[in-house]
């Protein structure tokens, strides 16, 4: 049985791997570069990740896949636990409840407001923004100081734009199931922060991508319409939602219209050599157009560089700027955070549509998409646009998709 997969990002490659293992004959079509958003750029002595930096080691599917294909994983060193937020000044993120209580990350009044959460009755909404959720449960200060940098770091978005149910389903569930966040965390005996350690590969994310691709049949060709794939028994579109919309438009306009509703944020990555202190995993910001600084050189071997992540939903204006203007703006921002640094620009990458922005209403769009796609035999959608943006989500969803195809048809 022949399967065509469009897109050789991790979603397409992992789907291909699982399906081939099950006995399907798999062809993967790729219009640009194998790896998609997971690509390690090599420049002299430096390795720069153009997209994915790493993944948390708390999702077994990723570790199992790496082990099955024989790529040893590499945990970040202890510096990965040192994280900062830049707001009016640099704050180190507390590493224990005691540090949080006695540290200066929040004024006393904001801490008090946060702890009132325990007594706030649940008011779950059908959907609401992350900001609306955390404002009502934990206070506006919490939203600004913690959720603004966190949403920038994960989604390159903002708490005002993202849907709590789509972007942070586990947090939303604590209110729905236990009546509140602290109540839920106490019952589950777990804190709110994601567990798991940052992990990658010795020579970057491309190590896993290249190993996966080696045993798959990749055809370097853009696919513009479904008709081009009519000789296959099954088709998986592992492309960003806006690309899937283009491929499906002529044959399935309703489905294409729903796919086109999924928004993407733009992100520029500026890579530097040089030093920056303090040595840490990185710094996320609350207001600047530079969303964060990732200090790869202090957490993984061979990286050597520092990267800044710029733009996102907070500043879509990068799309109207030249490369030189973005770099200058980034340098000015970094100067505000760490004055007198000696960073030298080494690398630049602009992703015009980098990360799906799971806006308020996202889950409804995904339900509509599934309703439409379920009406079509032998067509499947699989990418980070629908059910989780992380590298881990892509692998887990690919495994589940492959299993569902098996039960349906073989």
Task: Give me the residues that bind ligand FAD (CB under 6 A), please.
Answer: 6-12, 29-32, 36-38, 51-55, 222-223, 238-240, 243, 247, 267, 269, 351, 354-355, 383-384, 389-392, 394
**Cβ contacts of residue 198 below 8 Å, gap of 6+?**
53, 54, 55, 56, 57, 75, 76, 80, 281, 299
- Smallest gap from Cβ 317 to ligand FAD, in A, equals 17
* Shortest separation between residue 91's beta carbon and ligand FAD, angstroms: 22
Between 135 and 384, whose beta carbon lies closer to ligand FAD?
A: 384
The Cα–Cα gap between 179 and 124 comes to 9
CB of 365 to ligand FAD, least distance (A): 17
Instruction: Give the C-alpha separation, 203 to 108, whole Å.
Output: 44
**Mind giving me the DSSP string for 98-165?**
HHHHHSSSS-HHHHHHHHGGGGSPP---SS-BHHHHHHHHH-HHHIIIIIHHHHHHHHS--TTTBBHH
Q: DSSP secondary-structure letter at 302?
A: T
Bridge partners (DSSP) of residue 129 are 163
Q: How far is the CB of 29 from ligand FAD (least distance, A)?
A: 5
- Shortest gap between Cβ of 351 and ligand FAD (angstroms)? 5
The widest CA-to-CA distance across the chain, in whole angstroms, is 66
Our CB check for ligand FAD shows the closer of 269 and 405 to be 269
Residue closer to ligand FAD by CB (options 6, 405) is 6
Min dist CB 136 to ligand FAD, Å, is: 29
Nearer to ligand FAD, 7 or 139 (CB): 7
Neighbours of 399 (CB within 10 A): 18
Q: For residues 171 and 269, which CB has a smaller minimum distance to ligand FAD in the complex? A: 269
Closest separation in Å from C-beta 92 to ligand FAD = 21
Strands (DSSP E) contained in 22-103 are 25-30, 40-43, 46-49, 55-56, 73-75, 83-86, 90-92
**Smallest distance from ligand FAD to CB 298, Å:** 16
Q: What does the DSSP assignment read for 318-379?
A: GGGS-HHHHHHHHHHHHHHHSTT---EEEEEEEEEEEEEE-BTTHHHHHHHHHHHHTTSTTE
| Number of CB atoms found within 10 A of residue 273's CB | 19
Rounded CA separation 85/12 (Å): 35
135 vs 330, beta carbon nearer ligand FAD: 330
The gap from C-alpha 234 to its chain's centroid, in whole angstroms, comes to 28
Least distance from ligand FAD to the Cβ atom of residue 160, Å: 21
State which residue, 142 or 272, has the beta carbon closest to ligand FAD: 272
Residue 182 or 351 with smaller CB distance to ligand FAD: 351
Contact 274, 341 (CB under 8 A): yes
In terms of CB distance, is 2 or 221 closer to ligand FAD? 221
Number of other CB atoms surrounding residue 215 within 10 Å: 11
The whole-angstrom separation of Cα 137 and Cα 172 is 11
């Amino acid at each position: 049985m022949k399967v065509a997969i469009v897109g050789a990002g991790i979603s397409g490659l992992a789907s291909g791997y699982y399906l081939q293992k099950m006995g399907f004959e798999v062809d993967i079509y790729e219009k640009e570069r194998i790896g998609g958003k997971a690509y390690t750029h090599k420049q002299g002595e430096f390795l720069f990740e153009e997209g994915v930096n790493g993944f948390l080691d708390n999702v077994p599917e990723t570790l199992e896949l790496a082990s099955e294909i024989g790529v040893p994983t590499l945990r970040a060193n202890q510096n990965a636990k040192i994280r900062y937020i830049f707001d009016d000044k640099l704050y180190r993120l507390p590493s224990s409840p005691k540090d949080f209580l006695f540290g200066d990350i929040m004024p006393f009044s904001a801490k008090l407001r946060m702890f009132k959460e325990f007594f706030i009755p649940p008011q779950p909404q059908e959907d609401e923004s992350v900001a609306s959720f955390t404002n009502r449960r934990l206070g506006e200060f919490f939203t600004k100081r913690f959720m603004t940098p966190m949403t920038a770091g994960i989604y390159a978005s903002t708490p005002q734009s993202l849907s709590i149910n789509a972007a942070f389903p586990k947090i939303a569930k604590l209110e729905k199931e236990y009546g509140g966040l602290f109540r839920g965390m106490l019952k589950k005996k777990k804190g709110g922060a994601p567990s798991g350690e940052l992990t990658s590969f010795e020579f970057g994310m491309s190590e896993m991508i290249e190993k996966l691709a080696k045993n798959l049949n990749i055809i370097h060709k853009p696919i513009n319409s479904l008709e081009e794939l009519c000789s296959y028994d099954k088709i998986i579109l592992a492309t960003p939602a806006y690309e899937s919309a283009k491929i499906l438009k002529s044959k399935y306009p309703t489905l294409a219209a729903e796919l086109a509703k999924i928004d993407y944020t733009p992100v520029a990555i500026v890579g530097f050599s040089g030093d920056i202190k303090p040595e840490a995993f990185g710094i996320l910001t609350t207001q600047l157009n530079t969303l964060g600084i990732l200090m790869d050189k202090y957490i993984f071997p061979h990286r050597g560089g520092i990267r800044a992540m710029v733009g996102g939903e907070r500043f879509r204006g990068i799309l109207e700027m030249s490369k030189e203007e973005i770099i200058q703006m980034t340098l000015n921002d970094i100067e505000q955070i760490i004055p007198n640094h000696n960073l030298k620009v080494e690398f630049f990458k602009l992703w015009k549509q980098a990360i799906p922005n799971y806006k308020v209403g996202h889950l409804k769009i995904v339900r509509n998409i599934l309703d439409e796609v379920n009406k079509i035999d032998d067509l499947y959608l699989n990418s980070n646009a629908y059910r989780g943006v992380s590298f881990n989500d892509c692998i887990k969803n690919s495994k589940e998709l492959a299993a569902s195809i098996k039960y349906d048809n073989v």
